[in-house]
């Protein structure tokens, strides 16, 4: 069911298909991102470097098992530090001129390799999951290496965390679903 919903959303919004999380790039250094843009239906677009993210209120996660879409265990992230995605969206201020606009809002996280993860506004703001979506820049007290880029994202509240683990995070775009 989730795959069907994702396929419909990607077709409807022209997002294309994401790369597979299990595929290892030949040259991960070419994919490294050093900043993330928050754009789209926001009042204050952001362009944040790792140094900018470090100045924001930090959140930390302990061990996060990475479970792929099939349910297989792909390892784990240990002791990651970053900023809640919701806090970045609050700083950018999601534009919602109409009374029901927020209910029709999605957030698309995109990696430099084309990988995508999609969240609804309701997931991030009306469910406990919103506390567990972290844009992170540090793992085990050290900057991220080329295998994840300098900025990555994970939704640790998901049952299967792998599909919304975004390495080489490049952008976060807020989009309104058309009526």
Each of the 179 residues of the chain gets a pLDDT tens digit; together they read: 444 444 445 444 555 444 434 457 778 888 999 999 999 999 999 999 999 999 999 999 888 878 888 888 888 888 999 999 999 999 999 999 888 899 999 999 999 999 999 999 999 999 999 999 999 999 999 999 999 999 999 999 889 888 999 999 999 999 998 75
Decide if 39 is inside a domain: yes
Q: What pLDDT does residue 87 have?
A: 97
Q: How many CB atoms sit inside 10 A of residue 101's CB? A: 15
**Token pair of 141, please?**
């007290």
CATH of the domain at 148: 3.90.420.10
Contact 51, 138 (CB under 8 A): no
Sheet strands (E) in the chain:
35-40, 46-49, 59-67, 73-84, 105-111, 116-120, 133-139, 142-143, 152-155, 169-176
What are the backbone dihedrals phi and psi of residue 125, each rounded to the nearest 5 degrees, phi first? -115, -20
Q: Select from 151, 91, 145, 86 the least CA-distant residue to 121.
A: 86
Domain-embedded: residue 16? no
Q: Which domain holds residue 81?
A: 31-176
Q: How many helices and strands in the chain, by DSSP H and E?
A: 4, 10
In a domain, 96, yes or no: yes
Q: pTM for the whole thing?
A: 0.84
Q: With residue 132 as reference, give the H or E element that holds it.
A: none
Please give the tally of structural domains in the chain.
Answer: 1
Residue 26 in domain: no
Alpha-carbon distance of 143 to 178, in angstroms, equals: 39
Q: What three-state secondary structure class fits 112?
A: coil
Yes or no: say if 165 and 153 are a contact pair by the CB < 8 Å rule: yes
Distance in angstroms (rounded) separating the CA atoms of residues 174 and 94:
7
Instruction: Identify the pLDDT of residue 16.
Output: 47
């Amino acid at each position: 069911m989730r795959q069907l919903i994702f396929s419909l959303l990607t077709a409807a919004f022209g997002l294309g298909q994401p790369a597979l999380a299990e595929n290892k790039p030949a040259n991960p250094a070419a994919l490294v991102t050093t900043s993330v843009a928050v754009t789209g239906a926001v009042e204050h677009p952001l362009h944040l470097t790792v140094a900018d993210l470090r100045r924001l209120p930090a959140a930390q996660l302990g061990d996060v098992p990475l479970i792929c879409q099939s349910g297989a265990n792909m390892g784990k992230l240990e002791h990651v530090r970053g900023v809640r995605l919701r806090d970045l969206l609050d700083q950018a201020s999601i534009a919602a001129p109409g009374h029901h606009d927020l209910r029709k809002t999605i957030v698309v996280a995109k990696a430099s390799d084309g990988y995508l993860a999609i969240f609804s506004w309701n997931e991030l703001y009306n469910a406990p999951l919103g506390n567990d979506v972290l844009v992170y820049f540090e793992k085990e007290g050290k900057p991220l290496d080329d295998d994840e880029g300098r900025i990555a994202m994970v939704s640790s509240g998901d049952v299967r965390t792998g599909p919304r683990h975004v390495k080489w995070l490049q952008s976060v775009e807020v989009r309104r679903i058309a009526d």
